[in-house]
Structure 1
């Protein structure tokens, strides 16, 4: 179904792919793994005949027995592409139902069936929403529904479970494995790769360093072994932060999504907020950060109420609470260099001069693995993982007291994820991590708060909540449905969950 031979892609100043070759029979799944910027997305887009502007391309790409080039892309409906950042392909001014019906009319698909297979509701209220009214996980599944409507022969899925809770992740994995078409999976989720892939190709700096059906179980190269074994350091034991007055206090917070949420965090505490996609986690975080208003309740920082309206927050308030978005690409201006946008934080929120802010920006980016050359590039030339690191560097340049990270490790390879988590645990600030990744929560968090349908349903020390959950939703997210608990300190591992839980 897919045959790539000697594919080399070069842009001025660097080579993106260097002699990549791979094949994939019909109805099998091929996984591309590797660090951010290794060439996974460039390889995947070549299957659609798409390359970066000004790229020099040599080699051959064939899909379904037909050569694919920029001048001769696959026929419509042959290859469906599910991007890592779904907001990039969702029309912000058209309702969900309108676009779904347009796709169905062109390709002859059934809207309700596609929504059902993508684990989305098909009622009128949902179809009348706009994409920005969905959570990141719901947007991801909506793009999957678009792909299913076309009846493709090949599906290219770029991090399809990014931002998904454990239950939905298992459902999406089951759907992808049962499609009966060739699937090219780009993922940093090695558990998902083990579950779905018939063969694995490991990429590094645009080259294939290892390939085969058992790469993850018996890696031969040092690079593949590093990907498989990378783990963040376990959080060190710390003093009792709860003995001190809370830095952040949320009391009775209500919106059209949230229902009387009470939450607090001490100075220097690390709090993980977990729950199913669409449960209200991001809404809660955005209220705290001043990115949206609320209808009832209060948010206090160091005892002082923060304004309910985002427009009334001054620069000092904005600097003290910083937010790193799940969709990093959408948070950058595609036309300006990354370093200039990162430096702008220090200029606007801390009053630094432009030259001083620029030097600070280079240093902050370098500390997160983005060198001088990468910092000078535009966002559209960086990978999703590289942009997430740039977004984190930008937020840290404000010198915040509270840092809110919304799924920021979901698009990172295991090595970079471990490095980012180690960096976060070393920061002297209050950290709120919005995550579907329970092993991340177990490694980084002092306490865990579980949100379901806009309510806080469970809240306590991370070891207690994750290893001995009391609420059905938490038990389903951890996989502890009717089975014995793990030993304390043993982080939960995601796995396929077949039990029914409240939605």
Structure 2
């Protein structure tokens, strides 16, 4: 098969630190090349090099050739690739318009790309702005953009990050179908299950260097799924620390308000973890944003220690802001790209708790080290850190507020197994020692099983089942919960075949 992209002897150095060093690879038409390795190993830097993009001020050596044509990129943090001021219809419509044809043909190309990206109900998606989509939906819109552009190479950076197991299966099928169309796929991933299913070739990176390469069978040995942290015994429930009563949330669209959450009633006590699980687009993130004051278009009540919280972040006092902290799935977008990460973390303690600047900085360094991130690295600007490193920094920043409630939105989804387990262990310790209340939004069922005291299952904006974690996991009552758990159990047993359905004709 023909080579459509080639990297030879690539070295990318910034501020004396080699992000990648001596990396070579070939991307071939119709083949899937996976690059795996821990956070900070250089996967994303290598993938972006195929697009000719490098960190500001980087020193570059080696060659990158893409004679096969355009390169599409599906980033780990999709919100950064979508214009927040434009609806999805405009974002995709502009691309389709440049390809000519009648209005009906342009519209059909857009709808076909959305269907190939496994986005149900294209008309509803097209009416929304990016911030009105879940992280998983944003990811698939970006994939649809790449398909519309006619790319001969697609770099997929953690495409299953933030996706539920049911949607992961669709993404696996879609990437296999993309390769069947003769497109080269470069897959950057921590998800070894997905790599095993998809990859024709696997390249293993560590500290910027290639340390192994070969087939998935020869390279990926040992257990596929990371071991979860040890499960804890159920705690006796006390008075709710955080609670919602009759919460019904809406998104505003040109055709009026669209209800995305209906009659939500959930609660978690001090020292308790409530896991919100469900498919992408089920309303989990919107619920978390309502708790934190980031989404104010709702009816009903959010209570902290029995007292109603103002709906809007702007209406909350400094004490209320510190009490409920939110860690975003898209950590990169949560940082100012022009200021050192460590300064931004320390400022949280100064601004919300009135801490002295020196004390705040020492606390920030200690917290980062507990999360496995050296302070020397955090002294850099966000662009010099990987997605996984920024995720740990975002968690540290929230913890410096000394919150009562911590809302974690898919914070383990972009992490390698070792870092994931470190984060889960830290959260478990904080919950027990500091009586921190966790609201854990996740698609990672093993993580929910290990960390959660209670689980609420959302589907289409409603809580279809909730209760003690052991009961929901061992004796699920709702059909959707059983489907979700069955898919999680079977996820590692799926295998990619070349006998995938042919894409629908346009």
Q: Normalising to structure 2: TM-score of the pair?
A: 0.88
- Supply the distance in 2 between the matched residues of 1:22 and 1:119 (Cα, whole angstroms): 29
Tell me the matched-pair count: 469
Q: Is the 8 A contact 1:467 1:492 kept in 2?
A: no
Alignment pair present for 1:210 and 2:212: yes
The residue that corresponds to 1:106 in the other structure is 98
- Counterpart among 416, 438, 447 of residue 431 in structure 1: 438
Shift in CA distance, 305/53, structure 1 to aligned 2, threshold 3 Å? closer
Aligned residue number for residue 451 of structure 1? 458
Specify whether residues 123 and 385 from structure 1 end up closer, same or farther in structure 2 by C-alpha distance, changes over 3 A only.
Answer: closer
**For the residues of structure 2 that align with 1:197 and 1:189, how far apart are their CA atoms?**
12
Name the residue aligned to 1:25: 28
1:450–1:456 Cα contact (<8 Å) kept: yes
The answer on 1:57 being equivalent to 2:54 is no
SS at match of 2:265: strand
Q: CA deviation at 1:198?
A: 1.2
Post-superposition CA distance 1:378-416 (Å, at most 9, x none):
111111111100000000001111111000011111111
Which of 236, 244, 262 is residue 241 of structure 1 equivalent to?
236
CA shift at 1:366, angstroms?
A: 1.7
Task: Please state if 1:420 is matched with 2:423.
Answer: yes
Between the aligned partners of 2:208 and 2:298, the Cα distance in structure 1 is: 50
Distance in 2 of aligned mates of 1:292 and 1:233 = 32
- 1:65-112 Cα offsets, whole Å, 9 max, x none, are 6xxxxxxxxx4xx21111111111111112211121111123467111
Distance 1:5 1:123 in 2: 41
| Deviation digits for residues 307-345 of structure 1 (CA, Å, limit 9, x no counterpart) | 233332111111111110111111111111111110111
1:494 and 2:488 correspond: no
The equivalent residue for 2:477 is: 470
The reply on whether 1:136 has 2:130 as its aligned counterpart is no
Counterpart secondary structure, 2:262: coil
Tell me how far apart the structure 2 counterparts of residues 295 and 5 of structure 1 sit (CA, whole Å).
53
Q: For residues 207 and 367 of structure 1, what CA distance do their matches in structure 2 show?
A: 26
**Equivalent of residue 254 in structure 1, options 248, 251, 262:** 248
Structure 1 contact 90–131 (Cα < 8 Å) conserved: yes
In structure 1, stretches of 5+ residues that fail to align are 66-74, 220-224, 481-490, 498-503
Whether contact under 8 Å (1:271, 1:449) holds in the other structure is yes
Q: 3-state DSSP class of the match of 1:330? A: helix
How far is 1:241 from its partner? 2.4
CA RMSD of aligned residues (A): 2.1
CA distance change for structure 1 residues 98 and 120 in 2, over 3 Å: closer, same or farther? Answer: same
Find the aligned partners of 2:312 and 2:151 in 1 and give their Cα distance: 46
- Whole-angstrom distance in 1 between the partners of 2:220 and 2:93: 46
3-state SS of the aligned residue for 2:413? coil
How far apart, in 2, do the equivalents of 1:287 and 1:276 lie?
18
Structure 2 segments unaligned to the other structure (5+ residues): 101-105, 251-259, 496-506
**Equivalent-residue separation in structure 1 for 2:67 and 2:87 (angstroms):** 34
Kindly indicate whether the alpha-carbon contact (under 8 Å) linking 1:107 and 1:151 is maintained by their aligned counterparts in 2. no
TM-superposition CA deviations, 1:275-306 (whole Å, max 9, x none)? 11111111111111122225322222222222
1:116 corresponds to? 115
Q: Which residue of 1 aligns with 2:309?
A: 306
Partner residue of 1:287?
290
Structure 1 partner of 2:19: 16
SS at match of 1:234: coil
- 1-side partners of 2:21 and 2:172: how far apart? 31
How big is the shift at 1:121?
A: 4.1
**Counterparts in 2 of 1:48-447, with a 5 A limit?**
48-64=51-67, 75=69, 78-107=70-99, 110-121=109-120, 123-179=122-178, 180=180, 181-214=183-216, 219=221, 230-238=226-234, 240-242=235-237, 244-256=238-250, 257-427=260-430, 428=434, 429-447=436-454
Q: Say whether the 8 Å CA contact 1:368–1:389 is kept in structure 2.
A: yes
Q: 2:306 & 2:132 partners in 1: Cα distance? A: 32
State the alpha-carbon separation in 1 of the partners of residues 88 and 226 from structure 2: 39
Q: Which fold has the larger relative contact order, with Cα–Cα distance below 8 Å and residues 6 or more apart in sequence?
A: 2
Residues in 2 aligned to 1:218 and 1:92: alpha-carbon distance in whole angstroms: 39
Q: Residue 255 of structure 2 corresponds to which residue in structure 1?
A: none
CA contact (8 A) 2:201 2:216 kept: yes
Show CA shifts across 1:398-450 (max 9, x none). Answer: 11111110000111111111111111111131111001121221121111100
Write the deviation string for residues 174-200 of structure 1: whole angstroms up to 9, x where unpaired: 010111221110011111111111111
Partner Cα separation in structure 1 for residue 31 and residue 474 of structure 2: 36
What is the alpha-carbon distance in structure 2 between the residues aligned to residue 316 and residue 37 of structure 1?
Answer: 35
| Aligned equivalents of 2:312, 2:209: Cα separation in 1 | 50
Residue 233 of structure 1, CA deviation: 2.1
Contact conserved, 2:12 with 2:58, CA < 8 A, in 1?
Answer: yes
- Alpha-carbon distance in 1 for matches of 2:124, 2:195: 35
The structural deviation recorded for 1:229 is: 6.9
User: Residue 241 of structure 1 contacts residue 266 of structure 1 at CA under 8 Å; is this kept in 2?
Assistant: no
What is the CA-CA distance between 1:249 and the residue it aligns to? Answer: 2.0
CA contact (8 A) 1:253 1:294 kept: no
Distance in 1 (CA, whole Å) between partners of 2:213 and 2:354 is 51
